[in-house]
Every structure is written in structure tokens, then in C-alpha cells.
Structure 1
Amino acid sequence: MDHGVVVRRHELTDQDGELLAPLIPRAATGRPRVEDRQVVNGMVYKIRTGISWRDLPERHGPWQTVYTRFRRYALDGVFTRALRQIQARADAAGDIDWLMQIDSTIVRAHQHAATTGRKGESAGRTNRTIYALGRSRGGLTTKVHLACDGKGRPLAILVTPGRRHDSTCARILLERVPVPRGGLGRPRCRPGQVIADKAYSSRGFRTYLRRRGIAHTVPEKADQQRHRLNRGRRGGRPPGFDRQTYRRRNAIERCFNRLKGFHGIATRYDKTATSYEAAVTPASFLLRARSV
């Protein structure tokens, strides 16, 4: 990627370009291709503004090219590898606060994303596996599950239908956290502590964290507390809860606010879950890169 170019609003900086350049696949043969940075700028512009692919400014090249490469990068995991690489550099420099926080947010699906699939397909199975759409009173929604570090920088992302309960996705989300080491050694996948709200207060999730040796700060639900007290001694001791540590949970709320500054994330326009998650991932990469 070229250096010293004029950086327009909603485009990559030189630092972003240097981090992404080694990870972008290059065609060995074929016609001369549109410059990579120009195309990726089009992707970032689309995610930031939420406009249609067809409405991309001409300076980003043919919209079909930008869209085709976006889908290719999404399926190849280019943006995920970029996020992992910058996390590995941060971890090697001691710049990841492993006081992890997890939460989720609901995103409304635009009518362009409201695809029901082909005739003959099971609507439930299709929505869960391909589209990640769930129907609620407000219409079709998607839920973005997020794990971030203690400074509010994204670590892992999971996209599910909007009606999926947080506690059922907590384990899957944590298993997406591994941060590769810069040298030898296995990726780091165990945080120092996990902070979450009452939605994650389930016996199964607490047992999972204890088995992995992960400390956690999760408030107990009122009905769970009553049930434990009603059982007397058989109810066991109350789970540990540090109110002072729990106050730091606002970092993940700030992270969601920054992610939803991208209009293409605040409202879902992508039809497939793969494309929507691929939009959330480069946004997370940019938040991480620009916090260094």
C-alpha cells in the first residue's frame, strides 16, 4: 500500500494500511487489479456510513469490485486475522488489560437484510445458521455478543439471532478469545477475570469459569438468591461479588457506543451473518489500531 496519501474522512490511515497490507491476498495472474488500499477504503466507507454498495463514491473503484473482495475477505477470514495480529502485538507489549468484560447489544435489521431464504428451507434453521435473524416485537433483530479488555478494546465477537439468551453464548464467546503469541507458545485464552451482568448469572456458566480457573464478578439474580436461601445449608454459600470491580463494567458499554458509531453496524444492512460479522470485525480492528 502506498504511503503519504491524503487521508479522507472514513478511510484508512497510513498506520492502518501498514498493518493490513501483509494480510491481504494477492492474485498471481490476471488483469491489473484496483489498488488494495483503494478497495479497503471503500469497505470502511460503506461500513462507517451504512450506504448501499451501489452508492459508493467513484474514488473507491467499481462497487462490484469492492463488494466482491469484501465477500472474499469475509469468507477467508482476512479481517479476523488482522484483528488477531494487532491483538498479539498489543499482548506482547503488555497493552491488553485482561480484566475481560462480556455483554451483548441488540441491532435492528433493515428491510434489505430481512431475507427469509428459499422456498422449502426451514425458516428457523435458515435464520439461525445463515442469517442470524430473530423475530421480536420490534421486528427482525440480530444480537452482537462482545468480549473486550479492561480498556474497552474488542477481543472477540459473536453474531446470533436477536432472541438468543446471553448465558447460552457466553462459553462460545470466550472460546473465540485466544490471542496468538508473538513468538513460541500457545495462544493466550484465559483472562485474569471476567465481569458480566446478571444475564450471565447461571450455574452452568459459573461452573465453566471455575473449571478453567477464571475468577469472575457476576451479580446473582434475585430469584437465584431466594432459591439458595430457601434451601438453607444445602443452598451453599453465595458467589463472591466485588462491587468495586463491577463498576469497571462501563468499559464495554463505551466500546459498544464506539462500534455503533459505524452506521453499518448500528443498523444491520447485510443479508448474511457472515457479511455482518465481517463488518463488525474491521470496525473492531480500527478501534484497536487507533487506540495504540
Structure 2
Amino acid sequence: MAADLVPDELWERIAPLLPPGPARRHRHPGRLRVSDRVALAGIVYVLRKGVAWRDVPAQVVGCSGVTSWRRLRDWTEAGVWSALHRTLLAELRGAGLLEMDDCAIDGSHVRALKRGDHVGPSPVDRGRPGSKHHVIVDRHGTPLAVSVTGGNRHDVTQLIPLLDAVPPVRGLRGRPRNRPKRLFADRGYDYDKYRRLLWKRGIKPLIARRGVVHGSGLGKTRWLVERTFAWLHQFKRLRTRYERRADLHQALLELACCILCLRRILKQVPVTTTASPARR
């Protein structure tokens, strides 16, 4: 089951980034430590199925949900998910699969059933506690950076922080790339102050105007970010926020982005088939 939840392609990329486990005592060593791959399988299981950590089937995954939660906590504090995301983005750029000239940005509300960090009254859900997912994507909908805020935070307040969160993407000779040439956004980002900030960064703002009839043509590129949200929210754990700690919910969101990046990489890899011997 661990191999199904954590394929070899994902494990080969994340294994070098994991911090070493604690040294085992020679006297009274206790139980053997669960392997990192099995613990990662438990994290991916919760991310996909949306079950509570205590409901992770140990006989199926190979470890308890509490063990997987502890590894998620430790790896989040070690910055594993951000490092994995940077590695995959560099691989995409090196393969010519990342187009950062045109990017799109948007936010999406999710309900938060438990209170905690970055939770606020959602204006689109009758003031119930909620959070927001913010994401910036490239021309193909590949997530470049994500963040989590309270449900009452305006989308435009995360425009500059999300741009700053885009990591320097390597993969080609020359300078790493970390900013687009053009940025597409909906009417929620229609503020002249932020247009000026984008121009100062050398980014052309292509933001829909409020009070103007629909049909600006910007939706031809802006719809990609909506599709990325649909991809992210296919992971059931992200549809509704259960984690009180915002950093752990952010970690699950980054892991989902890494899985999307890996899918795009594997989709472009040619499959070689061995021809069957001719029958006599």
C-alpha cells in the first residue's frame, strides 16, 4: 500500500530532503522506528481520503495516523515541502514544461471546522469560520506558490506576499526565474496602488476592471488558476480545513502542489514498451 500511495518517482525526489531520524539507543532501544516511506504514505492517505488522523487504517497503510502526523510536524518544521516544491519546479523548467511569462493569481474559500491560526469569519459563508487558499500559477496551471490566510482577508492583500513567495526556479543556465512578465487577476485585485507596485517590479498587470461588462478577454488565461483550485480540492483534506495549526494545513497544501507538479513531469515522460517476440 505504501508503494501505491508513494510511487517510486515521488520517493526518489523526497528521500534526499528528509532529515535523519534520531539515533537508536543501544540499551533499551525500544520498538523499531517506522520507515519514512510508510509514514509518508499515511500523510498522503489522509490528504487524499480526508479521514481523521486517528482513523488511518494501520493494517492498510503500515503505521498509525499519529505516527504520520508526527512526521508531518517534524518535516514541516524542517522545510521539506518547500524544498521538494523547488526541486520539482526546477525539473519542470529544465524540461521546458514551465512557462512563467504569463501567470495568474486567485483565492478560494474553504470552511474551517476547528478554530486555530489563520481562521476568520467567511463573507461568502454567512460568517462561519473559514480560511482562504491563495495560489499563483504559470501558463499551464502549475502552482508556483501557495498560502493560507483567514477567511476574512481580502484577496488583494496577498498579491505581493504571494509574489514574494515564488521561489527562485533553477533548471536552466543563467539566473533563476522568480517573477512573471504579465500577471492576470480578476476584479478583486482591481486597485491602482497594486498596479503601480506590479509595474515597479517589472510586471505588467492584466487585471479586470470593476464596473465593466464581462468580456475583457482576460479569462482566456485567468481560468487556469480556477482549474488548479479544482485539482487541489480533489484532495479531500483540502476541501475543508481540520488542522488547528496553520503551518500543518499549509504543509498539506504544498504537498498537494508537489503531487500536481510530479504528475505534469510524469505525463511528459515517454513510455518505452518492449515489443513481444514474433510468433512462429
Question: TM-score normalised by the shorter chain: which range applies?
Answer: 0.7 to 0.9
| Residue 107 in structure 1 maps to residue 93 in structure 2 | no
Q: Cα 1:57–1:165, aligned 2, differ >3 Å: closer, same or farther?
A: same
Structure 2 runs not aligned, ≥5 long? 266-280
Q: Of residues 5, 18, 25 in structure 1, which corresponds to 2:12?
A: 18
| Pairing of 1:151-190 with structure 2 (within 5 A) | 151-182=140-171, 186-190=175-179
CA-based RMSD of the aligned residues comes to 1.9
Q: Of residues 264, 271, 289 in structure 1, which corresponds to 2:237?
A: 264
* TM-superposed deviation, 1:27: 2.0
Q: Is the 2:42–2:64 Cα contact (8 Å) retained in structure 1?
A: no
Q: Which residue of 2 aligns with 1:135?
A: 121
* TM-superposed deviation, 1:40: 0.3
* Deviations, residues 143-191 of structure 1 (Å, cap 9, x unaligned): 1110011111111011110010111110001100123324775532221
Q: Is the 1:87–1:179 Cα contact (8 Å) retained in structure 2?
A: no
| Pairing of 1:33-52 with structure 2 (within 5 A) | 33-52=33-52
* TM-superposed deviation, 1:77: 1.4
Structure 1 runs not aligned, ≥5 long? 116-130, 226-241
Q: Which residue of 1 aligns with 2:21?
A: 27
- DSSP 3-state at the match of 2:165: coil
| Pairing of 1:244-255 with structure 2 (within 5 A) | 244-255=217-228
**Number of equivalenced pairs:** 251
Query: In structure 2, how many angstroms separate the alpha carbons of the residues matched to 1:184 and 1:69?
Result: 35
| Residue 277 in structure 1 maps to residue 244 in structure 2 | no
User: Greater CA deviation, 187-196 or 40-49?
Assistant: 187-196
Q: Which residue of 1 aligns with 2:74?
A: 72
Q: Cα 1:6–1:37, aligned 2, differ >3 Å: closer, same or farther?
A: closer
Q: Which residue of 2 aligns with 1:89?
A: 91
Sequence identity (%): 34
Q: Which runs of 4+ in 1 moved over 2 A?
A: 5-8, 182-187, 242-246
Q: Is the 1:217–1:246 Cα contact (8 Å) retained in structure 2?
A: no
Q: Which residue of 1 aligns with 2:259?
A: 286
* Deviations, residues 200-244 of structure 1 (Å, cap 9, x unaligned): 11111100111111122111222xx8xxxxxxxxxxxxxxxx944
Q: Is the 1:109–1:268 Cα contact (8 Å) retained in structure 2?
A: yes
* TM-superposed deviation, 1:16: 1.1
Q: Which amino acid counterpart does residue 24 of structure 1 have in structure 2?
A: L
TM-score for the superposition, normalised by structure 1: 0.81
Query: In structure 1, how many angstroms separate the alpha carbons of the residues matched to 2:63 and 2:47?
Result: 16
Q: Is the 1:50–1:269 Cα contact (8 Å) retained in structure 2?
A: no
* TM-superposed deviation, 1:70: 0.6
